[in-house]
Amino acid sequence: MSEMPSDLKYSKTHEWAKDEGDATVTVGITDHAQGLLGDLVFVELPEPGTAVERGGECAVVESVKAASDVYSPVSGEVTEVNTTLVDAPETVNEDAFGEGWLFKVRMSDASELDGLLDADGYAESLEAEDD
């Protein structure tokens, strides 16, 4: 099992969210998710300014194998997207928890973060998936 950063929050649908402390979160997919997908070849990102719902589809990551929706872990407004992924989607494979981030959201309800899993909780949900 790959290392799960303890400063991040996680969703059961394999997104991570990092609280930037200024009411925004950075969102990506987990290392586990990129491993399942295989080599990414295309990332479709939302436009900055897009309103997103918690659990709503807001990006697509496509690997050689399949296309997969990315769900926003929090509600709010997209403030920034990782445009480097347009030319280098493999960055998500290489550094899912860092350089491979997807987009940032200004939260409309910061308490939604409390509803997400911590690293241990996400690790447990992965084990449950394997069973």
Partner 1 sequence: MGLRTPLYDAHLAAGAKMVPFGDWDMPLHYGSQIEEHHAVRRAAGMFDVSHMRILDLAGARTRDFLRHLLANDVAKLKIPGKALYSCMLNETGGVIDDLIVYFLADHRFRLVVNAGAAVKDLAWVRRHAGDFEVAVTPRDDLAMIAVQGPTARALTLPLLRESLRAHAEGLKPFHAVWDGDWMVARTGYTGEDGFEAMLPSAEVPAFWDALRQAALRPCGLGARDTLRLEAGMNLYGSDMDEQTSPLEAGLGWTLAWEPVERRFIGRETLEARRRQGGLRAFIGLVLLERGVLRDHQKVYDRDIEVGDITSGGFSPTMERGIALARVNGDIGERVQVAIRGRRLAAKVVRPPFVRHGEVLVG
Which residues, 6+ apart, have CB-to-CB distance to 68 below 8 Å?
A: 33, 37, 60, 61, 62
67 binds partner 1 (CB under 8 A): yes
Of positions 60, 88, 113, 119, contacts partner 1 by CB under 8 A: 60
- Site mask for partner 1 (CB under 8 A), range 85-104, x = bound: -x---x--------------
Closest CA to 60 of 79, 35, 33: 33
51 binds partner 1 (CB under 8 A): no
38 binds partner 1 (CB under 8 A): yes
Which residues, 6+ apart, have CB-to-CB distance to 21 below 8 Å?
A: none
| Interface stretch with partner 1, choices 21-29, 61-69, 100-108, 119-127 (CB under 8 A) | 61-69
| Interface stretch with partner 1, choices 7-15, 20-28, 56-64, 109-117 (CB under 8 A) | 56-64
Amino acid (1-letter code) at residue 67: A
How many chain residues touch partner 1 (CB under 8 A)? 12
Closest CA to 74 of 51, 97, 49: 51
Give burial (CB, 10 Å; 0-12/13-18/19+) of 11.
buried
Of positions 42, 109, 110, 120, contacts partner 1 by CB under 8 A: 42
Contact 57, 71 (CB under 8 A): yes
Binding site for partner 1 (CB under 8 A): 38-39, 41-42, 44, 60, 62, 64-65, 67, 86, 90
